[in-house]
Amino acid sequence: MVVGTTNSSFNKLHNNLLRSDSNLNSSIERISSGKKITKASDSPSELAVLAALQAQTRGITQQISNGMSEISMLQTAEGALDSTSQSLQRMSELSVQAANGTLTDSDRSAIMAEIKELSAGIDKTASSTEFNSKKLLDGSLSVTLTGGREFSQGAADVASLGLSKISVADQADASKAIESVKSAIDKVSSYRSQIGATVNGINSEISNYQTSLINTVSAQSQIEDVDMAAEIINMNRESLQSKFAIKAFDMQNVTASKVLNLLG
């Protein structure tokens, strides 16, 4: 009867020792990693929530990255349109100059040569401006942007701007050229305004995503990150309990040995 009781106590102390060691090791692991959940068995329900939050975090981060890429694309288009706008401003100056009644045919021919050069530059800008292999100013760009916003960019070549037949051969043609160039300038300005408004909209979407990301990461941190102060206290407690369990286990071994000696 005494031996049975001794064995029962021995098993209980042995189990206590194993449990204390396991708890201590888990506490040390949490402190080392800084994470409250280091394995699925720590908290299956919280682990499921954490996995969902991590997936949400990745999704939001990708949306922000997409928005930044879209802004880069639009800024590339806007920069090219700025170059086109400067060329048109120069064409406007030349058209006004050509309307001067004191100019000779030779003077107007020289002006027209420069206008043709500027026109060629505008066409080159329209055909060569691209972002990640997408043509931006040839009229083919039509995309769905962050937040489901649809964006299409009109063509900005000479023909699309209504300048393919521009001439300053005489005063009458020069006067028509002035109006044609003004219309082209207005069209490019409207393109740039549209891009500016779209960039502002994307920036607003990014700001919303960033706020959502902060909230999601915060929620993730509350579940995942360990409270260091509390965990250190817990580790010290588990360490003491482990020491007590070892001492009690050793004492039980001594007692069991004495009992067996008496029985022998």
Q: Do 125 and 186 fall within a single domain?
A: yes
Please spell the DSSP secondary structure of 41-91, one letter per residue: GG-HHHHHHHHHHHHHHHHHHHHHHHHHHHHHHHHHHHHHHHHHHHHHHHH
Q: Do 208 and 229 fall within a single domain?
A: no
What does the pLDDT look like over 185-237, one tens digit per residue?
999 999 999 999 999 999 999 999 999 998 988 887 777 765 556 556 655 66
Q: Residue 88 domain-assigned?
A: yes
Q: Residue 178 domain-assigned?
A: yes
Instruction: Grade residue 259 by pLDDT with cuts at 50, 70 and 90.
Output: very low
Q: Do 242 and 195 fall within a single domain?
A: no
The strand pairing partners of 143, in sequence order, are 151
Q: Residue 193 domain-assigned?
A: yes
Global pTM value: 0.72
What does the pLDDT look like over 95-148, one tens digit per residue?
999 999 999 999 999 999 999 999 999 999 999 999 999 999 999 999 999 889
Q: Residue 162 domain-assigned?
A: yes
Q: Do 217 and 259 fall within a single domain?
A: no
Structural domains in the chain (count): 2
Domain that holds residue 150: 46-222
Q: Residue 41 domain-assigned?
A: no
Q: Do 197 and 180 fall within a single domain?
A: yes
Q: Residue 6 domain-assigned?
A: yes
Q: Do 204 and 149 fall within a single domain?
A: yes
Q: Mutual orientation of helices 171-224 and 44-98 as an angle, nearest 10°?
A: 170
Q: Residue 11 domain-assigned?
A: yes
Q: Residue 94 domain-assigned?
A: yes
Q: Do 55 and 185 fall within a single domain?
A: yes
Distance of CA 255 to the CA centre of its chain: 67
Q: Do 231 and 157 fall within a single domain?
A: no
The share of the chain scoring above pLDDT 90, in percent, equals 58
Q: Do 52 and 26 fall within a single domain?
A: no
Q: Do 172 and 230 fall within a single domain?
A: no
Q: Do 207 and 251 fall within a single domain?
A: no
Q: Do 126 and 245 fall within a single domain?
A: no
Kindly report the CATH number assigned to the domain that includes residue 134. Answer: 1.20.1330.10
